[in-house]
């Protein structure tokens, strides 16, 4: 429980750009990235929320990309927690650059966004639709629609 409180507080501190430099010095980005592989859904939710808050900063964005943070964030798309999934999608949006686009909009991600765009959950469907329209090419979306081997099958929609 103490670990959850500390991580929640760090994620909240990450909301304020004034704290970015201090959080980098304290290696909080590494802490958040490492926590993405924890078994505790609560810890993962706080970690992905913290990364979402931090990645608007160019230095933090580059650090996350260099630290291979995209793959563990993609794994968060299969979380049963709505907030974790929402933060993961938003973070992937913020991390998308011309150099990282091949990772953040990989075919399994696009297919997952197509599924999310059909969700009854309006927050999730709207965010997924924005992702598809603003971050993916029409060709990527069409390829994901026509995919015969469904790489995103098994990724459940969040329950929250």
Q: What is the pLDDT of residues 20-48, one digit of tens each?
A: 999 999 999 999 999 999 999 999 999 99
Q: What is the pLDDT of residues 84-112, one digit of tens each?
A: 999 999 999 999 999 999 999 999 999 99
Across the chain, what does the average pLDDT equal? 93
- Reported as a pLDDT band with limits 50, 70 and 90, residue 149 is low
Cα separation, 8 vs 53, in Å, equals: 12
The residue that leads in pLDDT, 71 or 155, is 71
**pLDDT value at 12 more than 50:** yes
Q: Write down the residue that tokens 């197509």 correspond to.
A: 114
Domain locations along the chain: 2-97, 105-154
- Reported as a pLDDT band with limits 50, 70 and 90, residue 152 is low
Cα separation, 89 vs 108, in Å, equals: 13
Q: Which pLDDT score, from 0 to 100, does residue 33 have?
A: 98
Q: What is the pLDDT of residues 114-127, one digit of tens each?
A: 999 999 999 999 99
pTM of the complete model: 0.91
**pLDDT value at 151 more than 60:** no
Q: How many CB atoms lie within 10 A of CB 86?
A: 24
Residue 91 near residue 83, CB atoms below 8 Å: no
CATH architecture of 2-97: Alpha Horseshoe (1.25)
Closest CA to 76 of 65, 86, 62: 86
Q: What is the pLDDT of residues 130-140, one digit of tens each?
A: 999 999 999 99
- Residue 18 DSSP symbol: G
């Amino acid at each position: 429980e103490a670990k959850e409180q500390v991580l929640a507080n760090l994620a909240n501190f990450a909301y304020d750009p004034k704290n970015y430099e201090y959080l980098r010095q304290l290696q909080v980005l590494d802490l958040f990235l490492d926590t993405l592989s924890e078994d505790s859904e609560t810890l993962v939710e706080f970690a992905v929320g913290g990364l979402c808050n931090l990645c608007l900063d160019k230095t933090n964005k580059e650090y996350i990309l260099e630290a291979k943070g995209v793959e563990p964030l993609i794994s968060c798309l299969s979380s049963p927690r709505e907030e974790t999934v929402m933060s993961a999608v938003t973070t992937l949006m913020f991390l998308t650059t011309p150099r990282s686009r091949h990772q953040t909009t990989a075919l399994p991600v696009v297919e997952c966004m197509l599924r999310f765009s059909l969700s009854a959950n309006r927050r999730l469907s709207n965010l997924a639709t924005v992702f598809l329209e603003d971050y993916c090419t029409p060709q990527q979306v069409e390829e994901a629609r026509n995919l015969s081997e469904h790489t995103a099958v098994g990724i459940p929609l969040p329950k929250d």
